[in-house]
Homo-oligomer: A and B are copies of this chain.
Amino acid sequence: MVESVVSQMDNGFTAAEKDAVYRAIRERRDVRAGYLPQPLEEATLQRLLAAAHHAPSVGFMQPWRFIVVRDLAIRSSVHDIFARARAAAAQTYSGERADLYAQLKLEALLEAPQHLCVVCDRTSERGHRLGRNTMLETSDYSVVCAIQNLWLAARAEGVGVGWVSILDPPAVKQLLRIPPAAEMVAYLCLGYVEKFAEAPDLLRYGWEERAGLASVVRAETYDQSYPFDRGSR
């Protein structure tokens, strides 16, 4: 009986705990509108950063660096960089697709009271190159794992996150004094929101359909479809 309890401590999530994890995954959204003006409570922000810092990393390198941006002048400058990148991208579409692109709200850089620029310090010697000899890009991937940890924790906290990639990375790096050898992996808007949308914006506005699960899973090799209809094995 004692052993059974110990085993549950080590391993088992209750059904309610499992549901909560799946709920965060299912209800997480990329939030580009509806941010509230009040800044995040410091304790909340630090819990989110700690969640990110608990991500897996290649060689235990922990190469992520988080720049918390609250200054309105900096936020406005980032918005300027976005606006130029958006205008350039708009030129690449035509017809109905161009009309749709023009209507999309793609960021909330001025509304969200804080941003998070997420950087990979590729030059860090932490981790002693373990796992990076043949796949150097895994340090960037570790940083993305940290972002997804933060994103899910934020959903549970009622905090919206919006990833803005319509940016010129060299311009942002110069603005935020990020060294040339470091990689800007992501630029996030962060803030309380009134509600989370039931479906992704790009689905609701007709930019793209949702792919079926069967279309992305393969069996044994890339060219063989997965037998979802075969039932339990």
Chain A residues with CB under 8 Å of chain B are 7, 10-13, 16-26, 28, 30, 39, 41-43, 46-47, 49-51, 53-56, 58-62, 64-71, 74, 85, 88-89, 92-93, 97, 101, 104, 106, 119, 126-135, 137-138, 140-141, 144-145, 147-149, 151-153, 155-158, 163, 165-169, 176-179, 182, 185-186, 193-196, 200, 202-203, 207-208, 210-211, 213, 216-223, 226, 228, 231-233
Q: Is the CB of B169 within 8 A of A49?
A: no
Q: Is the CB of A157 within 8 A of B18?
A: yes
Question: Main SS of the interface on chain A?
Answer: mixed
Distance in angstroms from A105 CB to nearest chain B CB is: 13
- Nearest B residue to A68 via CB reads B219
The one of B137, B156, B179, B216 that contacts A62, using a Cβ cutoff of 8 Å: B216
Known: A17-B20, A158-B13, A203-B60. A165 touches B135 (CB 8 A): yes
Contacts of A17 in B (CB 8 A): 16, 19-20, 23-24, 156
Distance in angstroms from A199 CB to nearest chain B CB is: 10
The one of B149, B207, B221, B233 that contacts A25, using a Cβ cutoff of 8 Å: B149
Contacts of A71 in B (CB 8 A): 220
Copy tally for this chain in the complex stands at 2
The one of B41, B149, B165, B208 that contacts A60, using a Cβ cutoff of 8 Å: B208
Known: A148-B55, A217-B49. A208 touches B127 (CB 8 A): yes
Contacts of A50 in B (CB 8 A): 213
Q: Is the CB of B166 within 8 A of A128?
A: no
Distance in angstroms from A136 CB to nearest chain B CB is: 10
Q: Is the CB of A223 within 8 A of B177?
A: yes
Contacts of A88 in B (CB 8 A): 133-134
Contacts of A7 in B (CB 8 A): 195
Known: A60-B207, A61-B208, A68-B218. A21 touches B20 (CB 8 A): yes
- Nearest B residue to A211 via CB reads B62
The one of B126, B145, B153 that contacts A21, using a Cβ cutoff of 8 Å: B153
Contacts of A18 in B (CB 8 A): 20, 156-157
The one of B132, B135, B145, B203 that contacts A144, using a Cβ cutoff of 8 Å: B145
- Nearest B residue to A8 via CB reads B158
Known: A17-B156, A148-B149, A211-B126. A25 touches B49 (CB 8 A): no
